[in-house]
Structure 1
Amino acid sequence: MALVENKNILEFLGLVGRLKHVKRTGWVICDIDNCESIAGHMYRMGLMTFLLTDENDPFKLDRFRCLQIALVHDLAESIVGDITPHCGVSPEEKHRREDEAMKTIAELTGLAGDRMYELFQEYENQSSPEAKFAKDLDRYDMILQAYEYEKRDNAPKKLEEFFKATYGKFNHPFIQDLAKELYKQREEFEKKAVLNGNV
């Protein structure tokens, strides 16, 4: 097998580097100032995989695989951008574009790219317990970020749509417990805002 050329690796790293600067579309649409990048979202998802332990993970997930899926699940966005339901693109077309982008990325990096494409497909198809956990992380990081923006901007309930879109969709008990704690803190924040006349 031919060695992957360094110029291709640099092209790959350049694509990945874009994700450090591309803002997530959902926050842009909601007029959130200084909103997170796609890479920032993937980074925190990745770190959350380290929080799995023998005690809080009855499914005994492969933590390294969870980390890998978290790090590649949005890689295609380096080429196609962050497509949301508000963008007027059908789910089928979104999948087609992202699949093509991942194939392009895979071609640049040989065996490593084949591995990334396989993990991306696993996530897209939700075909493993690890992929399902990564989906939980994706949704949880989104509502955690929404709550952080509500607190930062002193705007309780401003991003309620993100909570409604994910409510009842968490499957892993560890993430379910984290979501309960987040809901509790958010409710307390809203009550204080009402008392202070901020709502």
Structure 2
Amino acid sequence: MNTADFLYEVGALKRTARTGWALARLPNRESVADHSFRTAVIAMTLAAMSGADPDRAATLALLHDLPEARLGDMHHLTRRYLDEPKPFRRVIDDQTENLPPPVREAIRSRAAQWLDQETAEARLARDADTLDSLLHVRESLADRPDLRERWEEYLSAAVTTEAGRTMMAEIRATDPDAWWPRTVST
């Protein structure tokens, strides 16, 4: 595998649907790449809010689902039955094996940081992962308030950082459509 092969593999995430939403019967499905993009922006925002490194947090969030190019998206119910995080480390090692050493080590070290959850940036990126799902639920289930509330409670319990809890409260208090009318100039 060369660098171009790796980039083509990363592109597979644009075609990899997130499976948890189908299981939950959400009509608004997204790809893993869709999810990773907004998760990276959320992680950058949370890190800036809390004095952590926004670039590192965004990078961790951007790369967090890279193994899903080979494993497919595995929702939380599936992950209960796996020996996590061992398979993810093996996939990252395999994916990056033939990359130039500086690229290989940059990706592997960030993947390890994500999996180990020992830094502020990793914990903020994990919260960003959850907050993106919270945003998606609120966008997708506006017409099903009981189900939306159950999902919100479930996801909210996974947010662990102060910045993440602050953002979670703001998300829950904000209508998903409130942003756009204010942006249109008259």
Alignment TM class, shorter chain as reference: 0.7 to 0.9
What TM-score do you get using the length of structure 2 for normalisation? 0.83
* 2:165 is aligned with 1:176: yes
> Distance between the aligned counterparts of 2:96 and 2:47, measured in 1?
32
> Distance between the aligned counterparts of 2:150 and 2:73, measured in 1?
18
* 2:85 is aligned with 1:95: yes
Q: 2:34 maps to what in 1?
A: 40
Contact in 1 for aligned 2:133/2:155 (Cα 8 Å): no
**Unpaired runs of at least 5, structure 2:** 176-186
Cα drift, residue 161 of structure 1 = 4.4
> Distance between the aligned counterparts of 1:168 and 1:28, measured in 2?
22
> Distance between the aligned counterparts of 1:121 and 1:129, measured in 2?
14
Q: Which has the larger radius of gyration?
A: 1
How do 1:6-155 residues align onto structure 2 when only pairs under 5 Å count?
Answer: 8-52=2-46, 56-57=49-50, 60-87=51-78, 90-92=81-83, 94-110=84-100, 111-151=102-142, 154-155=143-144
> Greater relative contact order (Cα 8 A, min sep 6): structure 1 or 2?
2
- Aligned letter for 2:89? D
For the aligned residue pairs, the C-alpha RMSD in angstroms reads: 2.2
**Unpaired runs of at least 5, structure 1:** 1-6, 187-199
* 2:151 is aligned with 1:157: no
> Distance between the aligned counterparts of 1:85 and 1:175, measured in 2?
20
Q: 2:184 maps to what in 1?
A: none
Pick which of 169-178 and 75-84 moved more.
169-178
Cα drift, residue 53 of structure 1 = 7.5
> Distance between the aligned counterparts of 1:113 and 1:161, measured in 2?
40
**Do the aligned partners of residues 33 and 181 (structure 1) sit closer, same or farther apart at CA in structure 2, a change above 3 Å counting?**
same
Cα drift, residue 89 of structure 1 = 5.7
> Distance between the aligned counterparts of 1:84 and 1:76, measured in 2?
13
Runs of 4+ in 1 over 4 A off after TM superposition: none
